[in-house]
């Protein structure tokens, strides 16, 4: 099939946004593109690994060989911006239900760079147990009640007990990152612009993933602080502000989680709360200054370039997140202790990109202002797999 015929089919597909006709055309285009790749001796797996023939990029093999990953990604960005269907054809063929309205599967090298930066910014991606998802829903069996054993004595029958199984449901939801950039910037996109885009979207996506991990209210996910099965330690009457937290309150959190979850457990709080914790006093002395301090801050050289703990409490590492509540109030959960290995992070590993020159984003009319809206989407799922692996500290009601 000629390239012009493929382009005609794609243009027609862009006009159909729903219904059986759209599904049929989408399947037809994919089949034809598969045939084209086969003709070139190329497989989908080759394309996923970045082994895209120069013909698809509009360049000679020699030119492609000299391009860095960032330059290839920059060419992808510019191809999306210019709606260059020939350059994007291979990537469209690899998309699961390719978005004929203008969304394209992001190249592997760019997606990997975004995830690398997201791991640096986000606790969810770095510390939770990752669950690859081949479908939108993944059910994970959990043991809610174990068996019991007995010493029946000689000649006596044992007592039966049966395990009770539950399940944790991971259901992938779509998260969207949206920003407005000048058309000049996108027209001249290079490797530096790609790095900039990767950083701002990775930071935003990682921040929202952490927000759902800790604060999610069920729409779309339920976080640790909102999970009704997580253990709660309430500060004594009169301790109704963050500033009144005591070392004993922090110690009580440790005793509330399963012993098997203690290896790898840590404290999670806002940086302002960490500042308060380091000022806890014992007999008018800050606990961080005692001979054997129970709270130890890390040195400046040790603090985070990659989410390293900022210190320890009772020997357990302390991690900071700006997504955890920082404004003091009565009856407020504000410190988490637990092991994030018992929180599941489902990753569909799909990221798409769309650029629009006619959208309105907030107060920005991008057409009138010669700008374009850039949108990235991902599909992930977050769930607390074992609530008893976590405990949260809560201020008193009065």
Written in H, E and C, the secondary structure of 260-307 is: HHCCCCEEEECHHHHHHHCCCEECCEEHHHCCCCCEEECCHHHCCCCC
What's the pLDDT score for residue 53? 53
Extract the tokens encoding 383: 């769930």
Give the lowest-confidence range in 143-152, 182-191, 256-265, 378-387: 143-152
In the predicted model, what is the mean pLDDT of residues 47-71?
57
Extract the tokens encoding 208: 């929202």
Please report how the helices 85-94 and 3-15 are oriented relative to each other, as an axis angle in degrees rounded to 10: 70
What's the pLDDT score for residue 89? 54
Q: Give residue 351's pLDDT band: very low, low, confident or very high (50, 70, 90).
A: confident
**Domain ranges across the chain:** 3-103, 106-398
Q: Is it the case that residue 302 has pLDDT exceeding 50?
A: yes
What's the pLDDT score for residue 5? 55
What's the pLDDT score for residue 308? 75
What's the pLDDT score for residue 45? 57
Give the lowest-confidence range in 190-199, 235-244, 250-259, 296-305: 296-305
Give the lowest-confidence range in 43-47, 117-121, 241-245, 346-350: 43-47
Q: Is it the case that residue 259 has pLDDT exceeding 80?
A: yes
pTM of the predicted model, to two decimals? 0.72
Report which of residues 379 and 9 the model is more confident about.
Answer: 379
- Write down the number of H helices and E strands in the chain: 13, 18
3-state secondary structure of 149: coil
Q: What percent of the chain has pLDDT over 70?
A: 70
What's the pLDDT score for residue 93? 41
Q: Give residue 37's pLDDT band: very low, low, confident or very high (50, 70, 90).
A: low
Q: Give residue 8's pLDDT band: very low, low, confident or very high (50, 70, 90).
A: low
What's the pLDDT score for residue 100? 44
Report which of residues 21 and 76 the model is more confident about.
Answer: 76
What's the pLDDT score for residue 20? 43
Report which of residues 254 and 144 the model is more confident about.
Answer: 254
Euclidean distance between CA atoms 313 and 321, whole angstroms: 16
Alpha-carbon 233 to chain mean position: 28
What's the pLDDT score for residue 95? 39
Q: Residues in the chain, how many?
A: 398
CATH architecture of the domain with residue range 106-398: 2-Layer Sandwich (3.30)
pLDDT tens digits, one per residue of 272-289: 999 999 999 877 677 776
């Amino acid at each position: 099939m000629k390239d012009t015929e493929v382009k005609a089919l794609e243009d027609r597909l862009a006009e159909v946004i729903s219904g059986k006709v759209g599904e049929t055309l989408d399947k037809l285009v994919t089949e034809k593109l598969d045939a084209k790749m086969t003709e070139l001796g190329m497989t989908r797996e080759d394309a996923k690994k970045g082994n895209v023939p120069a013909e698809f990029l509009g360049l000679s093999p020699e030119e492609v060989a000299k391009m860095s990953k960032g330059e290839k990604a920059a060419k992808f960005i510019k191809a999306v911006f210019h709606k260059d269907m020939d350059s994007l054809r291979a990537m469209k063929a690899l998309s699961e239900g390719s978005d004929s309205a203008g969304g394209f599967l992001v190249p592997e090298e760019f997606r990997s760079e975004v995830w690398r930066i997201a791991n640096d910014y986000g606790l969810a991606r770095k510390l939770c147990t990752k669950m690859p998802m081949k479908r939108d829903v993944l059910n994970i069996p959990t043991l809610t009640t174990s068996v019991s054993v007995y010493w029946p004595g000689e000649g006596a029958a044992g007592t039966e007990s049966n395990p009770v199984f539950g399940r944790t449901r991971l259901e992938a939801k779509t998260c969207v990152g949206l920003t407005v950039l000048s058309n000049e910037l996108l027209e001249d996109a290079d490797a530096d612009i790609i790095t900039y885009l990767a950083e701002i979207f990775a930071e935003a996506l990682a921040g929202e993933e952490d927000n759902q991990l800790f604060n999610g209210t069920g729409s779309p996910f339920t976080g640790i602080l909102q999970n009704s099965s997580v253990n709660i330690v309430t500060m004594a009457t009169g301790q109704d502000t963050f500033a009144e937290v005591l070392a004993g309150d922090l110690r009580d959190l440790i005793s509330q989680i399963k012993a098997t979850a203690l290896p790898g457990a840590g404290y999670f709080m806002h940086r302002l709360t960490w500042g308060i914790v380091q000022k806890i006093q014992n007999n008018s002395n800050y606990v961080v200054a005692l001979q054997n301090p129970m709270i130890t801050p890390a040195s400046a050289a040790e603090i985070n370039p990659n989410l390293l703990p900022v210190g320890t409490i009772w020997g357990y590492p302390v991690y900071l997140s700006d997504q955890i509540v920082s404004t003091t109030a009565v009856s407020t959960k504000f410190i988490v202790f637990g092991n994030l290995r018992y929180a599941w992070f489902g990753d569909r590993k799909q990221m798409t990109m769309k650029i629009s020159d006619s959208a309105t984003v907030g107060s920005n009319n991008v057409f009138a202002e010669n700008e374009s809206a850039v949108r990235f989407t991902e599909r992930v799922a977050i769930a607390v797999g074992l609530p008893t692996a976590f405990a949260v500290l809560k201020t008193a009601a009065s």
